[in-house]
Amino acid sequence: MSTAILTGQPVPGSSLEGDLRSLGFDVRAATDAADAETLLAAVPADQRVAVVDARFVGHVHALRLGLTDPRFDAAAIPGAVTAKPGARPALARALRIASSDASNGSVVVGIVADRVAETLDTDLHRPELGELVAEVPRDPQARNEARQSVASVDDEAIRLRTAVKSRDGFFTTYCISPYSRYLARWCARRGLTPNQVTTASLITALIAAGCAATGTRAGFVAAGLLLLFSFVLDCTDGQLARYSLQYSTLGAWLDATFDRAKEYAYYAGLALGAARGGDDVWALALAAMVLQTCRHVVDFSFNEANVDSTAANTSPTAALSGKLDSVGWTVWLRRMIVLPIGERWAMIAVLTALTTPRITFYVLLIGCAFAACYTTAGRVLRSLTRKARRTDRAVQALRDLTDTGPLAELFARVLPGGPRLLSRPFMVIGAVLVVLGAWIEGPGWSTVVCAVVYALVSAEVIAHPLTGALDWLLPPLFRAAEYGTVLLLAAKADVNGALPAAFGLVAAVAYHHYDTVYRIRGNAGAPPHWLVRAIGGHEGRTLLVTVLAALLAAEDFKVALTALAVAVALVVLFESIRYWVTAHRRGAPAVHDEGEPA
């Protein structure tokens, strides 16, 4: 329960008290700031408290936006201010100042909430209200005009419209959101939470993967339809969170990780279905997962490298992008080119229903490869002319995203004077070398030597800060090297079950890499260093897989890959679930990502 303290004389006929109760507030009345300060001291320390002017006139949704958003410790709109437990001391100090001002005659009863908001010595969020009304009329005429303004604006229509993500893909914007927002409202009115809808989306996608695994045409058609419905639910959970302001740390994590789990499980379902029809496409399924994960790491790494930058990007590429954004149709074309989740899942669903898994993967790989080249090229051109200095936080984020482990740390310590001769080009060469070794040589000691060289050059990340203009490319480079090596060695083993085992290993490691990103985005830092050490770091896992491939027979290598996949999955899942559940229980700040479509 939250508490709202109404200050000033009550207004006859006002619906304010009922509006606040409908938002979950226990309403108490105070005559002035001193009285409000006394009431505040009596409220339990773990409750949210709002101070609201009794003369407030406005939409209920304006109050909802200003007083109930869990993402902010303190927020205010005209005539109302709120504080979560973390900002309670600041609220108490502000009320003390308002009380002192009143005793000195410098403030009058009726504007206590605004005075408190002015003097609140903490970060204060002021939501954008747009057409919504929120004001404190000073006389009957102004009150009548304010009430007319409230009546002339449909706040429910605004609430529905703003439930839709402000920046999304073409397919999502025009083919899903026009009706999924109503599904979100239906869920809200029945007390469903975003996490429940997210879970329903996951279950639907897993059923879709199961249908695809049947290998029948009816199964493929059902899989395509269920995948689209899963995406509708995936849009609905975010819209429900915005509609009802039910943001949470756990919800953000579930939404992000389940998206990846749904897509990659569906790839596995398609591969199983193709196998039932006598077509082995596991290599294509794994390649699609590798490419998609590397695309995401490019996005994450570039954004983290520049997230704190205050200098404007004046490159010709940025200028051209700005000009194109001024032409409506180019905006949608560019959003579609990058093949965001809406367009990608729609394409996969249609191809699954109408064609074969092999064709589906071929088209997916071609589309994702083109999108990856387009986005990466643009970001490289921006980076080459960017003059902003990278912050220490961004440097550390890039270092964490590389996922460099104990083997590289050892090389960094034992090499005389540190690996200063191992420049960035040598890291690129090392990554390419280990992949080429796996491709040309396959399982063998030559590939092991290439992996040792790769681990050696990876030590450069430990030795020197990642402050270079293109250093954000290192995390996706390392992902491509590790995942590509596993894919090629499993394919070269040429034994049934090796590629599915490799798929499982890459999926487990990719989960760890996604989890690292989501922790950094939530300002929680990277996973603990013991976890990175326990699972070897990218260079350690790459070397281990090459050694196993060289030492073991094909059948034994398949078993070793399976065991390694299970071990990595158990460790990273245990630590990840422990962390996110604990963070949620401790009331960590809610996270809500409105960035680029995944």
**pLDDT digit string (tens) for 52-78?**
999 999 999 999 999 999 989 999 999
**What does the pLDDT average to over 173-188?**
95
**What does the pLDDT average to over 42-48?**
91
Q: What angle do CA 312, 314, 315 make, to 5 degrees?
A: 135
What separation, in Å, do the N-terminal and C-terminal C-alpha atoms of the chain show?
Answer: 36
In this structure, which amino acid lies at residue 559? Answer: V
- Contact present, 225 and 283 (Cβ < 8 Å): no
Please return the burial class of 436, using the count of CB atoms within 10 Å of its CB with bins 0-12, 13-18 and 19+. Answer: middle
| DSSP-derived secondary structure for 448-496 | HHHHHHHHHHHHHHHHS---STTGGGHHHHHHHHHHHHHHHHHHHH--T
Q: How far is the C-alpha of 428 from the C-alpha of 583, rounded, in Å? A: 37
Q: Which of 199, 210, 277, 270 is nearest to 236 (CA)?
A: 199
More confident residue, 9 or 558: 558
Q: How far is the C-alpha of 205 from the C-alpha of 223, rounded, in Å? A: 8
Q: Which of 401, 409, 402 is nearest to 533 (CA)?
A: 409
Q: What angle do CA 206, 297, 386 make, to 5 degrees?
A: 150
pLDDT of residue 311 exceeding 60: no
pLDDT score of 524: 77
Band of pLDDT at residue 152, cut at 50, 70 and 90: very high
Band of pLDDT at residue 522, cut at 50, 70 and 90: confident
Overall residue count recorded for the chain in this entry: 598
Q: How far is the C-alpha of 53 from the C-alpha of 146, rounded, in Å? A: 15
Q: Which of 57-71, 133-147, 243-257, 329-343 has the lowest mean pLDDT?
A: 329-343
More confident residue, 386 or 162: 162
**What does the pLDDT average to over 124-148?**
93
3-state secondary structure of 52: strand
**Alpha helix stretches (DSSP H) within 355-471:** 357-384, 392-402, 406-414, 424-440, 445-463
User: What are phi and psi for residue 45, nearest 5 degrees?
Assistant: -65, -20
Name the token pair of 426. 């040598």
Q: Which residues of 128-139 are buried (b: 16+ CB within 10 A; e: fewer)?
A: ebeebbbbbbee
Place of tokens 């398949």: 558
- Contact present, 532 and 516 (Cβ < 8 Å): no
pLDDT score of 1: 76
Taking only the tens place, the pLDDT of each residue in 370-384 is 999 999 998 998 888
Cα–chain-centroid distance for residue 331? 22
Cα–chain-centroid distance for residue 350? 27
- Contact present, 130 and 158 (Cβ < 8 Å): yes
Sequence-separated (6 or more) residues with CB below 8 Å from residue 58: 77, 78, 79, 132, 133, 134, 135, 146, 150
**What does the pLDDT average to over 313-339?**
66
pLDDT score of 106: 45
User: For 125, which DSSP code?
Assistant: B
H or E stretch including 416? none
Helices first, then strands: H and E counts in the chain: 26, 7
**What does the pLDDT average to over 566-573?**
97
Band of pLDDT at residue 316, cut at 50, 70 and 90: low
Place of tokens 């469903």: 192
| pTM, to two decimals | 0.91
H or E stretch including 97? helix 88-103
Q: How far is the C-alpha of 533 from the C-alpha of 483, rounded, in Å? A: 18
Band of pLDDT at residue 107, cut at 50, 70 and 90: very low
